[in-house]
Amino acid sequence: MADKTLNVICICGSLRRGSYNRMVMNALPGLAPANLKLTEAPPFADFPLYNADVQDKGIPPAVLTLAEAVRAADGVIFNSPEYNFSMPGGLKNAIDWVSRVPNQPFAGKPVALQSAANGTLGGGRMQYDLRRSMIFLDAMTLNKPEILSAIARKRSMPRPARSPISRRSASSSSSSKPLPSSSSASAASTEQRAE
Ligand SMILES: Cc1cc2nc3c(=O)[nH]c(=O)nc-3n(C[C@H](O)[C@H](O)[C@H](O)COP(=O)(O)O)c2cc1C
């Protein structure tokens, strides 16, 4: 069991180019054990706003793609900023859509939450709201460790090098390398959004 490769998809709650959460997400493969394969989830940026009338005409294919990626994964890692003390609207919209797919795929799914935000609480309030949504969807959300990166803008600034060793480690940071996408459909948007 310890040797089994675990396929985990990462969902970035920020859509902006240069997102700090995307930087954190892209740094994860360098920190993960060898048997953890991390890929970026298919994109949700173009989902329509959730509307039951739209759903009645058929769940959009992009929603089904994300839902099936969640279903197929051994786990999900969210990396998201906090917007107005909660989760970004685009991310909530994506979760609302995926939750309407029959046999909704978050049920029983191991889920980890991570956040980076410019506030001093590092997105903690977003995590409480995201956790509540995951509770409703019967996900198995990890309690610990709590991963919060506060004052992200300051942390992302390059620090003045104090020695040749710190200069070398700064330039070899893995945060600029985008995560592979879990579908070819999302590859283009990943490259487009990654800094
Ligand atoms: C609409 C909006 C609301 C925000 N609300 C919060 C907030 O409640 N708490 C916080 O710490 N930062 C807040 N911020 C600042 C974000 O933490 C900051 O923009 C962060 O860089 C977003 O993450 P990203 O870099 O991954 O896009 C807000 C930003 C926006 C655009």
Domains recognised in the chain with CATH numbers: 6-181 (3.40.50.360)
Predicted pLDDT at 177 = 80
- Contacts of residue 161, defined as CB under 8 A and 6 or more positions apart, other chains included, come to 167, 170
Residue tagged 């410019």 (tokens): 118
Q: Going by CA atoms, what residue is nearest to atom 29 of ligand 1?
A: 83
CB burial readout 71-88, b (16+ within 10 A) else e:
eebebbbbbbbbbeeebb
* Ligand 1 mutation pick, 11, 12, 78, 84, max ligand atoms within 8 A of CB: 84
Whole-model pTM: value is 0.86
What average pLDDT does this structure show over 181-194?
Answer: 44
Predicted pLDDT at 162 = 57
Residue tagged 């929603």 (tokens): 63
Q: Measured from the CB, is residue 114 less than 6 Å from ligand 1?
A: no
Predicted pLDDT at 82 = 98
Predicted pLDDT at 168 = 42
Short-list 58, 20, 11, CA closest to 150: 20
Predicted pLDDT at 37 = 97
Q: Measured from the CB, is residue 86 less than 6 Å from ligand 1?
A: no
Q: Is the pLDDT of residue 186 over 80?
A: no
Q: Measured from the CB, is residue 14 less than 6 Å from ligand 1?
A: yes
pLDDT tens per residue, range 96-128: 999 999 999 999 999 999 999 999 999 999 999
- Helix, strand counts (H, E) of the chain: 8, 6
* Ligand 1 mutation pick, 11, 83, 115, max ligand atoms within 8 A of CB: 83
Position 1 confidence tier, pLDDT thresholds 50, 70, 90 = low
Q: Is the pLDDT of residue 187 over 60?
A: no
What average pLDDT does this structure show over 25-30?
Answer: 96
Token pair belonging to 130: 């995201």
Q: Measured from the CB, is residue 80 less than 6 Å from ligand 1?
A: no
Q: Measured from the CB, is residue 195 less than 6 Å from ligand 1?
A: no
pLDDT tens per residue, range 32-50: 999 999 999 999 999 999 9
Instruction: Give the total residue count for the chain.
Output: 195
Predicted pLDDT at 113 = 98
Q: Measured from the CB, is residue 91 less than 6 Å from ligand 1?
A: no
Short-list 11, 147, 172, CA closest to 88: 11
CA of 81 to the centre of ligand 1 (A): 6
CA of 83 to the centre of ligand 1 (A): 5
pLDDT tens per residue, range 124-183: 999 999 999 999 999 999 999 999 999 998 877 776 655 554 444 434 444 458 888 876
pLDDT tens per residue, range 48-82: 999 999 999 999 999 999 999 999 999 999 999 99
